[in-house]
Chains A and B, each alone.
Chain A
Amino acid sequence: MAELNTVHLTLPAATDDLRKLQIGTVAYLSGRIFTAREGVYKRAIEDGAGMPAARDALGLANFHCSPAATVNADGSYTVGAVTATASFRFAQWLDGWFQLSGCNVIIGKGGMTSEVYRKSFVPNHAIYLTTVGYGTGALLGRGIKRVAGVYWLEELGLAQAVWVLDVDKFGPFLVESDLAGNSLFERENAKIAPGLAKLYAGTKPATLRRYGETDDKTEEVI
């Protein structure tokens, strides 16, 4: 079996380094990342709160994740496992988010559509890394060296708060979108699609239909 190409990326990532990445490459990260998902996006963008801290403090890599973490009695943090949550739900906030955060690496589960990559990622020189599995929560937990800060804990709760994490050899991830906006998942979907029709051969659609239903198996649910 072919070994996958593997790279180690230092954060914050230089655009030149990102340009070298091809979809399907295995990536490990070292540097600073921060978690942000719907609660943060809504507060930062829709509610107009802006970012909870300066770019230096947060880093430029946004992880769609909330860790299995605890605030200890002495105020320190225990982070166990970390795994991404599905990213497609956050596409609606991205344009404002890139402007506000300056991020050029988005990490999550399952990626977004290439339409979103071309519209929002490419102009901002950003790539998307997908977690593997999902998820390799324990392996990723091992890559976290330090909780550098937690923001909006009281406002948003443990799961939605911004966790700033210093990581080392944090991974594995797969490059899902490159700087040109290509999507690994869509490439794979296109290869699988031609074989789907024969699975359904000779069967007829369900008696009771649903509004908006499609019988085109090349479409996605996201």
Chain B
Amino acid sequence: MISISSVQRTAEELMAKAAIEIPDDYLAGLRKCADTEKGDLSAFVIKAMLENYDAAKEDRRAMCGDTGLPRWYVKIGNEARIEGGPVALEAALRRATARATTDVPLRPNRVHPLWRTDHNNNVGIGAPEIEYAFHPDADWIELTTVHKGGLFGSDYRMLFPGDGIDGIKRFYLDTLIGFGKRGLACQPAIVGVGLGGSKDTSMVLGKQASCLRVVGSRNPDPKIAALEEELKELGNSIGMGAMGFIGSSMVIDCHIEVGYCHTGGMPMSVHMFCLSSRRACARILADGRPQFRTDPMWFTDYMRRETVEWERPAAEAAE
């Protein structure tokens, strides 16, 4: 039984880590950009950001003043038992979000869409979002918090099979160029592309592709992996760098996730996870001990399964 106090304690620590510490994979990717960037303004921006990460860690203050929209991804092992059940789990995540808003501090970004009511704690109707997934043969739960900016750099479009790969490239370029000018997308970014699913699923997959996969990871489908590489290169050949200045630093990496969609369509979304790519993750073991890491490992073989029944991969079953 995983105690609810360990859930809340871990969640609070994750909130601070996400806000303050840039993940190593993003940092390594940005350093590569710094090595190759030839635009002097874009290079200056990247250098300032690298200094900013150090200042954030030294001072234990948030790396960006817009601390985004905190949200949670929860993966629950099939054998996991949580004290108080899912209602207690959700309450703990809402408490951790509210407490971290005061303690870190974070910016209380969440308001009512019409009345602009601000509870000053990033909690409200539907906030923070909590998304769930499951994992077979496990008694742990995994918590990931993502604090993504909320205004620019994402878009959705219903494409059709006849639009093809060219259509995908066009919409990808449209999004990067439109939001790249003046650096509205806060690039260089981890670009996530959601392909397929229903309209809302397409948005969810793209967001998860940008926020829950680490720089350097590739989709297990080799053709999709090749498209990820191609789109990354395409984005970096626009001629645009950080803040929309001349340069080559647009895309730290590109991740594509797919879901089966209507036979007549090919919905697509594009999401850009910014210079403050805030994510932090921990597995909480059955005895309540947390194991912190920065790779959410959200997309598993189980998550991407195509068949009706789940069958364990042969290698795992043989163990």
Q: A-side interface residues toward B, CB under 8 Å?
A: 1-2, 4, 24, 26, 39, 65-70, 78, 80-86, 109-111, 130, 132-142, 157-160, 172, 174, 185, 188-189, 191-192, 195-196, 199-200, 202-208, 217, 220-222
Contacts and interface: CB of A to CB of B under 8 A. Distances in A.
B105 A189 contact: no
Contacts of B276: 135, 137
B62 A80 contact: yes
A213 B170 CA distance: 14
Interface string B213-243: 0000000000000000000001001111011
Name A's interface SS.
loop
Interface residues of B, number: 67
A207 to B, nearest CB: 5
A81 B62 contact: yes
A177 to B, nearest CB: 12
A2 B39 CA distance: 9
Nearest to B151: A86
| A1, A86, A111, A135: residue with the most chain B Cβ atoms closer than 10 Å | A135
Interface string B162-195: 1100110111010001110111101000000000
Contacts of B55: 138-139, 141-142
A135 B234 contact: no
Contact of B243 (A1, A85, A133, A158): A133
A111 B184 CA distance: 10
B89 interface: no
Given A1-B43, A132-B243, A205 B170 contact: yes
A178 B275 CA distance: 27
B66 interface: yes
Interface stretch (B6-14, B45-53, B125-133, B255-263): B45-53
B290 interface: no
Contacts of A136: 48-49, 51-52
A6 to B, nearest CB: 10
A193 B18 CA distance: 36
A131 to B, nearest CB: 9
B285 interface: no
